[in-house]
Amino acid sequence: MTTTAYPTTLEAHLRGTTRKLLVPYVTGGVSDDWVDLVHAAVDAGADAVEIGIPFSDPVIDGPVIQAASVRSLERGTTPGSVLRDLAAYRRDVPLIAMTYYNLVLQHGQREFARLLVESGVGGAILPDLPLEESVSWEADAAAHGVAAVLIAAPSTPADRLAELCARSTGFVYGMGVMGVTGERAAPTDSARAMARRLKDVTDKPVLIGVGVSTAENAERVAGVADGVIIGAPVMRRVAEGGGPAGVGELVGGFRAALDRARG
């Protein structure tokens, strides 16, 4: 079954930005000051921020983000505590939740979507929910104005890619490489190839994540894509004790690189 995707507030915001898009990731609850990490990322030039709601079996997360999730869970973090903490969020750029379907199922899809909206979150990424089983979640998310962002992999065949793009709301998340999230030493041709494939079949914003680990890498990928998502570099900086200042410095470097990128 195919659903029709309608523009969301998140998509309108991203379309209204003329520069290349930068979406850093922050694990919710990773520290007492984690919302300040989000503020620092926004102040340094983020166009949206992906908020990780930690789960004990994160199938798409690499070692850096897994370690952040373990640290957060050991601090007693729950989906409810992450969303409550976001009451302290004091910026205007959109927030996007990234978590796993088991947590959504426990709350109930419509209730989870309602909680996201009440906490100021405008989109959600559920990487373990297959396209064939995502229709009801997409409908429940849409009923509350939550963008259901879908993920495309380099291995996704052309017909499935077109359907995924048609159904994704907010933007389309393209995986730069196959595998889990993490830092790669050099830019990969697969990231640019993924962006080209997506741009050929959709006019929605195309953001590339997974493996975008350096500012130089981001600049090269954004020459084709509309922007990038960076997770492991941010959370490594946090793990190294960088705090909000370190996150701001890192995101600022990526922002400068993307501002040099040309489509």
The single residue of 50, 138, 140, 219 carrying the catalytic annotation is 50
Which letter does DSSP use for residue 189 in this model? H
Whether residue 37 contacts residue 198, with contact meaning beta carbons closer than 8 Å, is answered with no
Whether residue 71 contacts residue 34, with contact meaning beta carbons closer than 8 Å, is answered with no
**Residue type for position 196:** R
State the Cα–Cα distance between residues 263 and 261, nearest whole angstrom.
Answer: 7
Q: Report CA torsion sign: 153, 65, 26, 40.
A: negative
Whether residue 131 contacts residue 164, with contact meaning beta carbons closer than 8 Å, is answered with yes
φ, ψ of residue 260 to 5 degrees: the values are -85, -15
Task: Collapse the DSSP code of 174 into the 3-class scheme (helix H, G, I; strand E, B; otherwise coil) and give the result.
Answer: strand
132 is an active site residue: no
Q: How many CA atoms lie within 13 A of 171 on its CB side?
A: 32
The single residue of 36, 61, 140, 226 carrying the catalytic annotation is 61
Strand partners, 51: 26, 97
138 is an active site residue: no
Task: Collapse the DSSP code of 52 into the 3-class scheme (helix H, G, I; strand E, B; otherwise coil) and give the result.
Answer: strand
Task: Collapse the DSSP code of 38 into the 3-class scheme (helix H, G, I; strand E, B; otherwise coil) and give the result.
Answer: helix
Whether residue 177 contacts residue 12, with contact meaning beta carbons closer than 8 Å, is answered with no
Q: Which residues contact 105 (CB under 8 A, 6 or more apart)?
A: none
State the catalytic residues: 50, 61
